[in-house]
Amino acid sequence: MANKDINNAQGIFAPASSSINGQQSAVTSPAPTFTVAENLSGATIGTFRANDQDNGQTHTFSVDDARFEFVGAELKLKDEFSLDYEEAALVPLVVTVTDSGGLSNQMNITVGVLNAGSQLIRN
Which of 87, 110, 109, 114 lies closest to 97 in space, CA to CA? 109
Q: Which among 103, 108, 75, 117 is positioned nearest to 90, based on CA atoms? A: 108
pLDDT tens digits for 55-106?
Answer: 888 889 999 999 999 998 889 999 999 999 999 999 999 998 888 888 888 8
Specify the fold of 2-19+31-114. Answer: Immunoglobulin-like (2.60.40)
Domain boundaries, the chain: 2-19+31-114
pLDDT digits (tens, 9 = 90+) for 12-69: 343 332 222 333 333 334 578 888 999 999 999 988 888 777 788 888 999 999 999 9
What's the whole-model pTM score?
0.72
- At residue 6 the predicted structure's pLDDT band, cuts being 50, 70 and 90, is very low
Residue type, 13: F
Report yes or no: 93 and 64 within 8 Å, Cβ to Cβ.
Answer: yes
**Residue 58: what are its φ and ψ, rounded to 5°?**
-105, 160
Residue 100 gets which letter from DSSP? T
